[in-house]
Amino acid sequence: MTTALAPRRMAVEMHSPVADRLANYIAANRFTAPCVTLQPDTCQGRTLALCGAGPSLAKHVIEGVDDVWACNSALPYLTGKGVRVTAGVGIDQTPGLLREWASAPDVPYYLASSVDPALVAHLRAHGRRVAFFHNAVGLADEFDTYCRTWPPTFMVGQGSTVVSRVLGLAFWLGYERVDVYGEDCCLAPGDVAHANGDVATVAYINPLIMSGEVNGRTYRTRPDMLMAAVDLVRRVREYAGRVRLIGDTLPVALLGKPEAYLQEVCRRLAPNELPPGDGAADKE
């Protein structure tokens, strides 16, 4: 991705603001009762609408699927529109989900075991059902810890947003096809970030916004969203017809681009590597 003013390669280093609490979150969630984990093949042969909260979610009718997962603020948005949501899905470890799910819509919840235990307590206080999966967060001996202390379930690890991450979970559960809605991976005009009308400065804390051109069109995005766009294009190829991207989104604009192009748009750097001509990393 290049800036609007001139082509530029930029290294971006991203950190979790609650990284020092994640081990405690995982341990606390293990010993909440009941500790229910998602199990494989329980949705065998079904079809799924996997919904992010991007602006394009407001432009499409969800149809032709058996189930609907709503991620983050897509959950109150869709339930408020009368859509039959079969699960609210979240991996966010910050207090953001507590704000977005303050009303605790009456659906089952699929949560990463690394979420803030306060979110789990909030949902259970409203009588909601919670089932866990794991989310790779980079802790030492993380996989062994899950295997030793938790009942078996799936660990997501590919993708930089909730939608791009839980796509793998959906196929592990047995879904035959996944239609992806609201995963714009970019901002709408006016820097609108979400289908509910939130702009970037409201939806995110001090967002790092990048801009670049694809197919002659300028897109504004964040680093994690840009990574997710490239990841989703690769997942569409990997699953060969089982993933459909719905809407006028950045991932759709990148469909059909060769791997060399995707590497130019966004790539993960090796440790201590910086892109040519860039001596500093921006941090988010």
pLDDT, tens digit (0-9, with 9 covering 90-100), for 62-71: 999 999 999 9
Task: Assign 3-class secondary structure to 199-263.
Answer: EHHHHCCCCCCEEEEECCEEEEECHHHHHHHHHHHHHHHHHCCCEEECCCCHHHHHCCCCHHHHH
**pLDDT tops 80 at residue 169:** yes
* Poorest-pLDDT segment among 8-22, 142-156, 194-208, 247-261: 8-22
Task: Assign 3-class secondary structure to 98-154.
Answer: HHHCCCCCCCCEEEECCCCHHHHHHHHHCCCCEEEEEECCCCCCHHHHHHHHCCCCC
Which of the four pLDDT bands, split at 50, 70 and 90, describes residue 26?
Answer: very high
Which of the four pLDDT bands, split at 50, 70 and 90, describes residue 12?
Answer: confident
For 23-42, the DSSP string reads HHHHHHHHTSSS--B--TTT
Cut 0.75: pTM above it: yes
For the CA atoms of 196, 52, 48, 160, the dihedral, rounded to the nearest 10 degrees, stands at -170
Task: Give the residue with greater pLDDT, 277 vs 170.
Answer: 170
**Phi, psi (rounded to 5 degrees) for 283:** -115, 145
Closest CA to 111 of 16, 209, 37: 37
Give dist(CA 200, CA 167) in Å, integer: 24
User: Could you report the per-residue pLDDT of 58-92, keeping only the tens digit for each?
Assistant: 999 999 999 999 999 999 999 999 999 999 999 99
Residue carrying structure tokens 């995963």: 183
The amino acid at residue 142 is E
pLDDT for the residue 282: 59
Mean residue pLDDT of the chain comes to 93
pLDDT for the residue 279: 47
What's the token pair of residue 200?
């970037």
Which of the four pLDDT bands, split at 50, 70 and 90, describes residue 15?
Answer: confident
pLDDT for the residue 6: 43
